[in-house]
């Protein structure tokens, strides 16, 4: 047979100028409103439903803040940081460096002053955890790059050491962290009580999500991160040093964990060194639900999980204990790689 007779088999029969379909995968987006609506008749009372839903959204936003960095870090480099929770604890404890000396200002019932102090605490916490994250990546992660087993062990070890160091620095007793005066209490929406701090948590969470969304979609660094999540080799083949990008994402992800830690600490109103480790379980569940590496999936997953926990806590308290796992299993049975699977991993 003459070689020139070989032509590739036509696989793509699309006419060259047909407009491509844009299949938006919206099913996961509908899950949160659908779940909320479905629960309304089950809960049976609109005010209680509103309270539960706001509580769930607030908790979900805080979990999202803590988890978003981890999912990006994993998406970009396949590094799973089991010590991510340490940054949550460190963030919360660092915030006490601002909260405790300025305790007087927190007791003043002035929203502006309270928000100022909170902002300062967040800034410091993010700065410290960001720098620590940068150092952690350099010292702890880089030597075991690409070796998953060692990564898990090393980062777990890092977590143990970090928890102990927090105990050494701040003492082993748990630290009470009362809410600033103007964040306390609830206001009424009709008959529904909405706690003020939960509203603040929702606002902060939405802000973080919006900023991340803008950075990832509108800036060159964001585009590079998204491209790298999909195919890091090709990003390198275009001439970008992905390691640099990764250190940046790692530091930013750690800073977000720190921010989440401050918010979570205020929510719990007490700090323990183990708080970060305890949140890791929730963080892992939401990033698995969302699809490892997907920020959007992580957002939906966080809200979904927190809402389920809150509704279940009201409807069937015993079930609430395992609702996380049941939710994860259900989602994975529907989509084995999570809500929004990311190609590379």
Partner 1 sequence: MLKHLLSDDLPRSRFLTVLLVLILFGLAFAPFITSGARPLNTAATICVYIVLVASYDLLLGYTGIVSFAHTMFFGIGAYGIGLGLASAGPFWWIAFSGLLCALLLTILLALIVGLFALRVRAIFYAMITLAVASSFAVLASQLSDLTGGEDGKTFSVPALLSPSFHLFENEVFGRIIDGKVITYYLVFGVALMLFLFLLRVVNSPFGRVLQAIRENEFRAEALGYQTIYYRIAANCLAALVAALAGALMALWLRYVGPKTMLGFEVMTDILLIVVIGGMGTMYGAVVGAALFMLAQNYLKTLMLQASSALVGVPFLAEALHPDRWMLWLGVMFVVSVYCFPAGIVGKLRST
Partner 2 sequence: MVQAQPPMSEPLLTLNAMHTHIGQFHILQGVDMVVPRGGVSALLGRNGAGKTTTLRTIMGLWPASQGSIRFDGKEIGKLTTPAIAQSGIAYVPESMAIFSALTVKENLYLAAREGEMDSVRLEWIFGFFPALKKFWNYPAGNLSGGQKQMVAIARAIVEPRKLLLIDEPTKGLAPAIVHNLIAAFRELKTTDTTILLVEQNFSFVSALADHVAVMDDGRIVHAGAMRDLAEDQKLQQRLLGLSLDSHQ
Task: Name the site residues for partner 2 (rule: CB under 8 A).
Answer: 1-4, 6-14, 16-23, 220, 223-224, 226-227, 230-231, 233-242, 343
Q: Which does 286 bind (CB under 5 to 8 A by kind): partner 1, partner 2, none?
A: none
Percent composition of the chain: helix, strand, coil (DSSP 3-state, to 5): 75, 5, 25
**E strand or H helix at 187:** strand 186-189
Which residue, 71 or 254, is less far from partner 1 as judged by CB? 71
Residues 138, 77: Cα–Cα separation, whole Å: 14
Q: Which does 80 bind (CB under 5 to 8 A by kind): partner 2, partner 1, none?
A: partner 1
Q: Which of 154, 208, 298, 303: binder of partner 1 (CB under 8 A)?
A: 154
Q: Which does 238 bind (CB under 5 to 8 A by kind): partner 1, partner 2, none?
A: partner 2
* Minimum distance from residue 318 beta carbon to partner 1 (Å): 7
Label residue 67 exposed, middle or buried (CB < 10 Å: 0-12, 13-18, 19+). Answer: buried
> Which residues lie across from 48 on neighbouring strands?
none
280 scored as a contact of partner 1 (CB under 8 A): yes
* Minimum distance from residue 234 beta carbon to partner 2 (Å): 4
Residues 231, 225: Cα–Cα separation, whole Å: 10
Cβ within 8 Å of residue 87, ≥6 positions away:
129, 132, 133, 254, 255, 257, 258, 261, 276
Which residue, 210 or 221, is less far from partner 2 as judged by CB? 221
Q: Which does 20 bind (CB under 5 to 8 A by kind): partner 1, partner 2, none?
A: partner 2
Residues 139, 121: Cα–Cα separation, whole Å: 27
Angle of helix 46-77 relative to helix 84-99, nearest 10 degrees, comes to 120
| 8-state DSSP, 139 | I
Q: Beta strand pairing status for 186-189 and 175-176?
A: unpaired
Q: Which of 40, 97, 108, 152: binder of partner 1 (CB under 8 A)?
A: 152
* Minimum distance from residue 309 beta carbon to partner 1 (Å): 12
Distance set, CA 198 to CA 25, 90, 186 (Å): 30, 22, 9
* Minimum distance from residue 172 beta carbon to partner 1 (Å): 6
Which residue, 204 or 289, is less far from partner 1 as judged by CB? 289
Residues 80, 94: Cα–Cα separation, whole Å: 24
153 scored as a contact of partner 1 (CB under 8 A): yes
316 scored as a contact of partner 1 (CB under 8 A): no
Which residue, 182 or 324, is less far from partner 1 as judged by CB? 324
Give the interface segment with partner 1, choosing from 39-47, 98-106, 154-162, 197-205 (CB under 8 A).
Answer: 154-162
Taking Cα atoms as reference points, which of 51, 52, 31, 121 lies closest to residue 302? 31
Which residue, 2 or 318, is less far from partner 2 as judged by CB? 2
85 scored as a contact of partner 1 (CB under 8 A): no
- By CB under 8 A, name the binding residues for partner 1: 78, 80, 82, 140, 143-144, 148-154, 156-158, 160-161, 164-165, 167-169, 171-172, 277, 280-281, 284-285, 288, 292, 318, 321-322, 324-325, 328-329, 332, 345
């Amino acid at each position: 047979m003459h070689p020139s007779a070989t032509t590739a088999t036509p696989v793509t029969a699309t006419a060259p100028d047909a407009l491509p379909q844009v299949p938006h995968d919206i099913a996961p987006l509908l899950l949160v409103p659908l779940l909320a609506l479905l629960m309304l008749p089950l809960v049976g009372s609109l005010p209680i439903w509103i309270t539960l839903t706001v509580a769930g959204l607030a908790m979900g936003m805080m979990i999202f803040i803590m988890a978003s960095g981890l999912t990006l870090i994993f998406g970009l480099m396949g590094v799973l940081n089991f010590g991510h929770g340490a940054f949550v604890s460190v963030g919360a404890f660092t915030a006490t460096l601002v909260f405790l000396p300025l305790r007087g200002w927190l007791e003043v019932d002035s929203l502006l002053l309270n928000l100022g102090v909170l902002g300062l605490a967040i800034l410091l916490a993010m700065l410290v955890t960001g720098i620590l994250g940068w150092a952690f990546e350099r010292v702890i992660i880089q030597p075991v790059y690409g070796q998953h087993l060692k990564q898990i062990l090393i980062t777990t070890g890092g977590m143990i050491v970090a928890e102990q160091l927090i105990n050494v620095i701040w003492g082993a007793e748990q630290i009470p962290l009362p809410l600033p005066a103007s964040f306390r209490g609830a206001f009424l929406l009709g008959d529904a009580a909405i706690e003020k701090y939960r509203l603040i948590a929702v606002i902060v969470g939405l802000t973080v999500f919006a900023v991340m969304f803008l950075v990832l979609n509108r800036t060159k660094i964001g585009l590079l991160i998204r491209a790298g999540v999909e195919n890091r080799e090709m990003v390198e083949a275009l001439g970008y040093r992905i390691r640099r990008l990764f250190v940046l994402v790692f530091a930013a992800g750690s800073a977000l964990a720190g921010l989440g830690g401050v918010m979570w600490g205020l929510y719990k109103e007490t700090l323990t060194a183990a708080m970060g480790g305890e949140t890791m379980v929730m963080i892992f569940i939401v990033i698995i639900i969302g699809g490892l590496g997907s920020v959007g999936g992580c957002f939906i997953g966080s809200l979904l999980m927190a809402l389920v926990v809150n509704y279940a806590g009201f409807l069937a308290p015993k079930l609430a204990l395992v609702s996380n796992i049941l939710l994860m299993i259900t989602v994975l049975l529907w989509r084995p790689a999570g809500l929004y699977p990311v190609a590379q991993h």
